[in-house]
Amino acid sequence: MSRALIAAIAAVIVLLVVTSASLFTVNQTQQALVTQFGRVVEVVTQPGLHVKTPFVQSVLTFDRRLLTVEQPGQEVILGDQRRLIVDSFAVFRITNPLLYYQAVGTAEGIRGRLNSVVSGSLRRVLGNNKLLDVLSADRDRIMRRIRDEVNSEMHGFGIAVDDVRIRRADLPEENTQAILQRMQSERHRVAAQQRAEGAEASLKIRADAARDRTVLLADARAKADNLRGEGEAQATDIYAKAFNRDPHFFAIWRTLQGYREAFDKGNARLVLTPDNDYLRYLQSQPTPTAP
Amino acid sequence: MLLALGAVALWLASGLYRVQPDELGVVLRFGAYDYRTQPGLNWHLPWPIESVELPKVTRINRTEIGYRSDPRRQGNADVPAESLMLTGDENIIDINVSIFWKIDNAVDYLFNVRGPDALVKAVAESSLREVIGRTPIQPALTQARAQIETDVMKQTQEIMHRYKAGIEITQVQLQKVDPPAAVVESFRDVQRANTDAERMRNEAESYRNDIVPRARGDAARLIAEAQGEKQAAIALATGEAQRFDSVLKAYQAAKDVTLKRMYIDTMRDIMTHAHTLVVDDRLKGLVPFLPLNAPEPKAAPATTPARPAARPPAQSVLSQPGQPVQPTDNGQ
């Protein structure tokens, strides 16, 4: 009885051990290789529950996800001899776990390998391009080119590189200082120019205003003189019309008026001889008839 | 037996789980993705058959580039290595950006990419630098900001789609776009220069606004004066003409008498106002003694060259009262 129970328990334990050794799960994020004494016998790409021969076979799992490897700041020399410090990252996935396992085996291994290939490709491709191209819209083309180069070089490693992207591209410290100084001097130039343009505009406005004033006044004077002239002309006309009716009488009238005005002030002196017509009654008595 | 049943019940109960409102349940059977569950109480086959992942699918995540916000303190810590970058015209600009994103496809997010959060940051940073790398600094600082945000968002989103990362970029927000701290002062000086120029222009304009209307006023005054003079001249002429007309009418009515009257009136008037001296030209020695201290009368020469007429000698000198004693008066 007890022997049978022990035997049953032992059988269950053995069954459990064998079962757990012959079943394995592959996670959604993983893929696996089944090896037998180091030799790969099966490639498992489907996640889920799988079976293997217990004890003789073992399982190696690899990531199935998109993986990122970063290449921190490396100095590259561009086509125009400028130096640039480039941070990049490569995005890849393991497409062939068997090749991958045979070629490098570990995550560290692939990282080192990929880093050296990417940095070599970066140097080559960037070395053929100018700084402005790297900065500008050409960056995309450059990155695609690097990706393709890396992909073909890493062909035997069982991975596919989806993308190599330049994360940062900065100038070395001494160039940065130079740029900052240039920015500063450029701003000074712009500031000076704006001030000068302000002064220019100011002077121009003032000069225009002074000119406007001069022109306005001159025009007004001209117009005023013209008006005066018109007045004189009309007055002359009126005089002429009136006086022309009897020029002889006008001469007398005007002359007498002139005498009157000339002597009106009281400071004029008049010297006459006694034979003046007006004074004739001083000399001889008037008679009832005209002389 | 009861013990065994209890153990089985406990085992089954371990499959109960709760999905929070901001989460989504993703159930894996033997590690392989099987199905999704919605918020609420759910049950999956217990370990080791099924397991569940609970990603927060409604939460908006924020990735910071160029700075780190510190919830304990006000203000952000700047990370110059991330925030300083080259612009398209080889200047350096200091930019802080927030990338807002959420999980778009929970399965992709969980199983397609290792470290999706870090990848968002790497891709966004790369996109930002690429966009800035083709933008000159002046627009980047001013009007191109919205464009930069749109471009970075579009490009980051496109790459995340290509990676099938299950991530949706909801917003890209430029926090700070400045010139580098070392040169910010000279950028401010440009703004000051702008203001200075504006001020100079305004001052000049106020000067113009001051003098030009005044000049217009002066001009108007000159013209008005001239108009006045014109009117006055015409009025004067008209008046005189009318006066002449009236006199002429009187004269035409009685020519001789009028002439005589006018002559006599005029002479009388003159003589009452002017110092009159009657000199007989036969009294030769007298002329030097004329009172020359008084202003020389202008009309005098007109009448002094007297004719050498054979007239009786003059016997009187008329002089004005109130005048100093005349040195003449000896002819009678």
Domain ranges of chain A: 2-63, 67-171, 247-283
Give bridge partners of residue B37 from the DSSP assignment. Answer: B25
pLDDT band at residue A277 using 50, 70 and 90 as cut-offs:
confident
Q: Compute the Cα dihedral for A18, A22, A27, A30 and give only its sign.
A: positive
Contact residues, B window 17-76, toward A, CB-based 8 Å cutoff: 28-33, 48
pLDDT at A250: 86
Quote helix, strand, coil % in chain B, to nearest 5: 50, 20, 30
Q: Where are the domains of chain B?
A: 9-53, 61-179, 263-332
pTM strictly above 0.80 = no
| Mean residue pLDDT across chain A | 87
Contact residues, B window 183-222, toward A, CB-based 8 Å cutoff: 183, 186-187, 189-190, 192-194, 196-201, 203-205, 207-208, 211-212, 214-216, 218-220, 222
Q: What is the pLDDT of residues A148-190, one digit of tens each?
A: 999 999 888 889 999 999 888 888 888 888 889 999 999 999 9
Measure the CA–CA gap between A111 and A30, rounded to whole angstroms. 18
Measure the CA–CA gap between A215 and B219, rounded to whole angstroms. 10
pLDDT at B327: 42
Q: What is the pLDDT of residues A67-84, one digit of tens each?
A: 999 988 888 998 888 888
**pLDDT reading at A221 higher than 80:** yes
> Cβ contacts (< 8 Å) between B189 and chain A: which residues?
187-188, 191
Mutate to test the interface with A, among B34, B111, B332 (most CBs of A within 10 A): B111
Please, which residues have CB within 8 angstroms of residue B286's CB and are 6 or more apart in sequence?
A: B279, B328, B331
Two structure tokens written together for B136: 């000159």
pLDDT at B285: 57
Q: Where are the beta strands (DSSP E) in chain A?
A: 23-26, 30-36, 39-44, 48-51, 57-63, 67-77, 83-94, 159-170, 269-272
pLDDT at A88: 92
What φ, ψ does residue B105 adopt, rounded to 5°?
A: -135, 105
Contact residues, A window 89-148, toward B, CB-based 8 Å cutoff: 89, 91, 131-132, 134-137, 139-140
What topology is assigned to B61-179 in CATH? Tetrahydropterin Synthase; Chain A (3.30.479)
pLDDT at A1: 59
Across the interface, which of A66, A226, A230 has its CB nearest the CB of B114? Answer: A66
CB spacing of A203 vs B204 below 8 angstroms:
yes
Q: Which residues of chain B fall short of a pLDDT of 50?
A: 288-289, 292-332
**pLDDT reading at A11 higher than 90:** yes
CATH architecture of A67-171: 2-Layer Sandwich (3.30)
Q: Are the beta carbons of A37 and A52 closer than 8 angstroms?
A: no
Q: How many other CB atoms are there within 10 angstroms of residue A73's CB atom?
A: 13
Measure the CA–CA gap between A78 and A199, rounded to whole angstroms. 44
B79 lies within 8 A of chain A by CB: no
Contact residues, B window 114-153, toward A, CB-based 8 Å cutoff: 114-115, 118-119, 122-123, 125-126, 129-130, 133-134, 137
